[in-house]
Structure formats: structure tokens, C-alpha cells
């Protein structure tokens, strides 16, 4: 018996979400898979939210991305932020489930295929240093590192800094979210050369209004990025 087989006998694979037995590591059981709202089919080309009708290869935009000027080029999401999608995000973000980053990055990579470009630089949305000190890790950086490795792309985890503590965005209106994040991000001088002239894949765990992606994109473009595409693990969708 090989080492891997022996380990699976001692530590049999468990569902990432509910710990039920599964056939292989980093998988979901059948029940949790059905409760996980993966985005497939037609999606908004700028934010990744699923759209009714159409086919996956079509180019379309949701109402929000038509109404709001997005500073980035294209965007995708792996999950809708509800049901087991929400539970998985919260487990990664607040439950110290760092083991979720690897399979989640795989789901994100699959969603991102239409917007990937050769030579892209993968950049995570940063936390303020106070929040990073309390949480001990940046979930966006865990996702971006695993995704860059899977895609064979360069990764720069400190390409952006959050210049001030913007606090929690929960409960704020869309306008307040954008105002709160205005000029909150910057590219440090030591990373300017890595950003200038590059196509950037900007990664975060959740997109709600798009305010964070907008502010970080503007900082990257100001530093000379050639283009910015965005990718999140989960996209918040309006009820109904």
C-alpha cells in the first residue's frame, strides 16, 4: 500500500462543507454540491453575476454594470453568495478554514478562463494592517496565490496597500460604500515597476456593490497597469 492510500485509510476524505465521507480530497458531498450555487451558463461579462437565458459564450451585462461605470475591463465569479456558497465564504473568512482556499481557487480558475490573458499578474485585494493583524491572514491573498499557481501566472501579494482602515461595509448604501473607499488604496513605490504595463487579474473573496474592485482598479490603473480584470469567489445577487 502506498503512502497516499495509507493516509486515506487513516484519514478518509471528508466533504469540505459538512465533513461527510467523499471519494477524494478537497471535494463536496452530493448534498452540499447541490446546495452550492456555482455560476454556470450566461453571466455578466463585467461582474460575473448569473443572467437568465442565453449561453455561456455570449457577451452580456447586468443592469448594475450597465448603470454604473466600471473601471475594470471584465469580471467573473465562481459562486453566488447564498446557501452553501455563503457558508463556504464565511468559513474561509472567519472560521480559519484556510484549507478551503485550494479548492475554491480551482472553482475560480474554471470561472476565470474566458478572461485570462497570457502573462497576467495576479493581485489580491489587501486588508488594512490592523485587520490583518487581528485575522492573521488575508483570505483574498490565499485565493490569489492558489489561483496563480494553478494558472501558471505570476503572483504579487503586496502589489496594493490599503492606506486607511475603511471599516466594515455591511449596512452601507451603495453610494456610501463607494465614498468610503475613495482613495483608500495605492500601489507602493517598490511595486510600481511590476504593475506598469501589465495585465492584472484582481482577486477578492466577495463582490457586493463593486466599490472595492473599483477603488483597487483605479489605484492599479493610476500606477500604469495596462488592463485590469476582476475575479471573486462569490458574487452577491439581489433577491429575486
What pLDDT, on the 0 to 100 scale, is given for residue 7?
Answer: 40
* Strands 227-235 and 75-80, bridge-based pairing: parallel
pLDDT digits (tens, 9 = 90+) for 84-115: 999 999 999 887 889 999 999 999 999 999 99
Q: Mean pLDDT throughout 196-208?
A: 97
User: For the whole model, what pTM was predicted?
Assistant: 0.90
Whole-number Å distance between alpha carbons of 80 and 87: 11
* The pLDDT of residue 79 is above 80: yes
DSSP state of 191: G
* Strands 199-207 and 154-155, bridge-based pairing: unpaired
The residue with greater pLDDT, 173 or 138, is 138
Helices (H), the chain: 3-10, 30-34, 63-67, 83-94, 101-112, 129-135, 139-151, 174-181, 192-195, 211-222
What pLDDT, on the 0 to 100 scale, is given for residue 129?
Answer: 80
DSSP state of 127: P
- Nearest alpha carbon to residue 233 among 133, 97, 70: 97
pLDDT band at residue 6 using 50, 70 and 90 as cut-offs? very low
**Percent of the chain residues topping a pLDDT of 90:** 68
Whole-number Å distance between alpha carbons of 76 and 80: 11
What pLDDT, on the 0 to 100 scale, is given for residue 183?
Answer: 86
Whole-number Å distance between alpha carbons of 103 and 108: 9
The residue with greater pLDDT, 94 or 154, is 154
pLDDT digits (tens, 9 = 90+) for 211-233: 999 999 999 999 999 999 999 99
Strand partners, 227: 199
**Percent of the chain residues topping a pLDDT of 70:** 92
Q: Are 125 and 212 in contact (CB under 8 A)?
A: yes
* The pLDDT of residue 142 is above 80: yes
Provide the mean pLDDT of the chain: 89
- Nearest alpha carbon to residue 162 among 145, 136, 182: 182
pLDDT band at residue 10 using 50, 70 and 90 as cut-offs? low
* The pLDDT of residue 201 is above 80: yes
Q: Mean pLDDT throughout 63-69?
A: 93
What pLDDT, on the 0 to 100 scale, is given for residue 1?
Answer: 45
What pLDDT, on the 0 to 100 scale, is given for residue 171?
Answer: 67
Q: Which one of 8-17, 55-64, 187-196 scores highest in mean pLDDT?
A: 187-196
Of 20-29, 75-84, 123-132, minimum mean pLDDT range: 20-29
Strand partners, 21: 14
The residue with greater pLDDT, 167 or 192, is 192
Amino acid at each position: 500500500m502506498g503512502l497516499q492510500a495509507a493516509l486515506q485509510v487513516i484519514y478518509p476524505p471528508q466533504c469540505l462543507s459538512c465533513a461527510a465521507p467523499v471519494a477524494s480530497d478537497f471535494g463536496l458531498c452530493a448534498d452540499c454540491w447541490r446546495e452550492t450555487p456555482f455560476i454556470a451558463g450566461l453571466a455578466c461579462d463585467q461582474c460575473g453575476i448569473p443572467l437568465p437565458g442565453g449561453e455561456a459564450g455570449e457577451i452580456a451585462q447586468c443592469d448594475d454594470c450597465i448603470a454604473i461605470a466600471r473601471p475594470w475591463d471584465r469580471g467573473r465569479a465562481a459562486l453566488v453568495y447564498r446557501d452553501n456558497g455563503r457558508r463556504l465564504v464565511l468559513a474561509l473568512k472567519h472560521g480559519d478554514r484556510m484549507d478551503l482556499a485550494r479548492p475554491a481557487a480551482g472553482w475560480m480558475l474554471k470561472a476565470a478562463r474566458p478572461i485570462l490573458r497570457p502573462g497576467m499578474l495576479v493581485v489580491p485585494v489587501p486588508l488594512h494592517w490592523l485587520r490583518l493583524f487581528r485575522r492573521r491572514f488575508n483570505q483574498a491573498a490565499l485565493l490569489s496565490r492558489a489561483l496563480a499557481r494553478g494558472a501558471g501566472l505570476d503572483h504579487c501579494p503586496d502589489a496594493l496597500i490599503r492606506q486607511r482602515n475603511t471599516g466594515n461595509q455591511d449596512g452601507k448604501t451603495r453610494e456610501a460604500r463607494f465614498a468610503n473607499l475613495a482613495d483608500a488604496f495605492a500601489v507602493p513605490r517598490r511595486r510600481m515597476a511590476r504593475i506598469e504595463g501589465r495585465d492584472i487579474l484582481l482577486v477578492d473573496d466577495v463582490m457586493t456593490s463593486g466599490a472595492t474592485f473599483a477603488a483597487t482598479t483605479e489605484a492599479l490603473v493610476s500606477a500604469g497597469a495596462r488592463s485590469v480584470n476582476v475575479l471573486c469567489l462569490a458574487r452577491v445577487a439581489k433577491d429575486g
